[in-house]
Amino acid sequence: MADQAVARLAGINVGAPARPLPSADFGLIGLAVMGQNLILNAADKGYTVCAYNRTTSKVDRFLENEAKGKSIVGAHSVEEFCSKLKRPRRVMLLVMAGKPVDQFIEALLPHLEKDDIIIDGGNSHFPDSNRRTQALAEKGIRFVGSGVSGGEEGARYGPSLMPGGHEAAWPYIKDIFQGISAKSDDGEPCCDWVGDQGSGHFIKMVHNGIEYGDMQLICEAYDLLKRGLGLSPTEIGDVFAKWNTGVLDSFLIEITRDVLYYNDNDGTPLVEKILDKAGQKGTGKWTAINALDLGMPVTLIGEAVFSRCLSALKDDRTRASTILGGPTPKFEGDKQAFIDDLEQALYASKIISYAQGFMLIQEAAKEYGWKLNKPSIALMWRGGCIIRSVFLKDITNAYRNNPDLENLLFDDFFNKAIHNAQTGWRNVVSKSALWGIPLPAFSTALSFYDGYRTKDLPANLLQAQRDYFGAHTFRIKPEYANENFPEGKDIHVNWTGRGGDVSASTYVA
């Protein structure tokens, strides 16, 4: 009896069956394709993983099939799930972004303790991760918002992982995350700590925006080869196969080759039968909106988003094709020389897209007060993710050589590459205009490059116009400053003699 009394004082329920000691190194909630494959990946790396899903029949089905014989345990409630996790508990959510993430966090909190870790691996918008990091820190819980890229295959055999949030969580998830992540050609894990708050999901958002841009550029190259040069899908596939052995070697070029080679059961290319209406889930749009909010000219991703919107207007375009006239492409000359020019144009445009992406990342770090690891960001994208390519090794090297690099175009390697590509790039863009084949992504990349390298843009006239009609003021160039037009001052001029001297407030868009 005395022993039982001591046990009760110690908080032990003498009459209840003993609860097994926590056995799982890691817990994952959400057994859709990505969740299941990530669990299998972690189990293959020697970790014991606890799986839970709101529909518990999925847990049983998973344990009886794909997870059978592996170091994977299941749970039928949130309480049971948390009880099976070693401390500090490491819980990863792979559920639909938005409200479901918050609902699961609320369900978890009563069963967690101080310093436990919640990881959101979904496609959450970074402001939500900012909010969750702060709110959970106040409750003693360490929150991580992690980008996960690579699709089903990446999750199973090695994704790109981009974690950010409460930095004190990193030492406790580093081994697992770097263990299950993809590895670069040099053997480095495609995962490192990104930075504060929602920076992990921000980097994933930019990754997806660049993915939009890369895909649009590839589609425009395909259109030029098809309508401009008159090549068949198989011949275009041969072009992409060759490109995949050079500077354009990448996952997206590789899968484009495979798509173009793929025939339907009747022996004809399937790609030609697919309806030309592109879908999108919003992350590219988020990138473009954030670029506008921060005043960053991320023009290529913006054009890629708008191109998908234009593709959705299929009925309008079909009608317009019978009403609106234009030139008919007719190629004359050396086809291989043009294909070589197109390869350089695609390479140069990709350089611009990534330069713009890193400009946005740098501005976000300033705006949100984040300490970001730029060399590691490029490294994270070298394997496992959709935009993985040999090209990213050069970006990693550029930021390792100079972590404070102002712009990717200022790096010697990329500066030389884009200068070497210019002749072909300009030839391709000008030919497309003459042929009437739209190249919004190629064209905006070249326009950005020419604008960025121009010391004096025509915005001086724009400022004069704004001051004329709205008294929005302007500033004088330092070399023309005088008593009437002092340097660094907002100036309003009475352009017609009929206006007043009162000016509007100034602002930066």
Q: Is 28 helix (H, G, I), strand (E, B) or coil?
A: strand
Q: Which helix (H) or strand (E) holds 2?
A: helix 2-9
CA distance 343 to 350: 11
User: Annotated catalytic residue: which of 58, 84, 188, 204?
Assistant: 204
Q: Is 281 one of the annotated binding-site residues?
A: yes
Active site residue 183: no
Q: Is 402 one of the annotated binding-site residues?
A: no
Return the structure tokens found at 236. 């275009």
Q: What are all long-range contacts of 443-446, with beta carbons under 8 Å and residues at least 24 apart?
A: 444/299, 444/300, 444/302, 444/303, 445/217, 445/299, 445/300, 445/348, 445/349, 445/352, 445/353, 446/348, 446/349, 446/352
Q: Is 53 one of the annotated binding-site residues?
A: yes
Q: Is 201 one of the annotated binding-site residues?
A: no
Q: Which helix (H) or strand (E) holds 146?
A: strand 142-149
Q: Is 87 one of the annotated binding-site residues?
A: no
Q: Is 466 one of the annotated binding-site residues?
A: yes
Q: What is the DSSP string of 277-317?
A: -----SHHHHHHHHHHHHT---HHHHHHHHHHHHHT-HHHH
Task: Give residues with Cβ within 8 angstroms of 308, minimum separation 6.
Answer: 212, 216, 278, 279, 280, 284
DSSP state of 362: H
Task: Give residues with Cβ within 8 angstroms of 500, minimum separation 6.
Answer: 471, 494
Q: Is 150 one of the annotated binding-site residues?
A: yes
Q: Is 427 one of the annotated binding-site residues?
A: no
User: Annotated catalytic residue: which of 84, 188, 211, 374?
Assistant: 211
Q: Is 33 one of the annotated binding-site residues?
A: yes
Q: Is 208 one of the annotated binding-site residues?
A: yes
Q: Is 355 one of the annotated binding-site residues?
A: no
CA dihedral 154, 158, 159, 163 (to 10 degrees): 160
CA distance 66 to 379: 31
Q: Is 482 one of the annotated binding-site residues?
A: no
CA distance 445 to 426: 11
Q: Which helix (H) or strand (E) holds 412?
A: helix 412-435
**Where are the extended beta strands (E) located within 99-251?**
117-120, 142-149, 160-165, 195-196
Q: Is 445 one of the annotated binding-site residues?
A: no
Q: Is 123 one of the annotated binding-site residues?
A: yes
- Other beta carbons within 10 Å of 501: 8
Q: Is 308 one of the annotated binding-site residues?
A: yes
Partners of 91 in the β-ladder: 27, 118
Residue 88, preceding peptide bond in cis (omega within 30° of 0) = yes
Active site residue 211: yes
Contact between 167 and 189 (Cβ < 8 Å): no
Q: Is 507 helix (H, G, I), strand (E, B) or coil?
A: coil
Q: Is 380 one of the annotated binding-site residues?
A: no
Q: Is 32 one of the annotated binding-site residues?
A: yes
User: From residue 310, how far is each of 66, 205, 214, 276, 300 by CA, in Å?
Assistant: 42, 22, 17, 10, 15
Q: Is 384 one of the annotated binding-site residues?
A: no
Contact between 184 and 159 (Cβ < 8 Å): no
Q: Is 55 one of the annotated binding-site residues?
A: yes
Contact between 267 and 316 (Cβ < 8 Å): no
Instruction: List residues forming the annotated binding site.
Output: 30-35, 53-55, 95-97, 123, 149-151, 207-208, 212, 281, 308, 466, 472
Instruction: List residues forming the annotated binding site for NADP(+).
Output: 30-35, 53-55, 95-97, 123
Active site amino acids: 204, 211
Instruction: List residues forming the annotated binding site for substrate.
Output: 123, 149-151, 207-208, 212, 281, 308, 466, 472
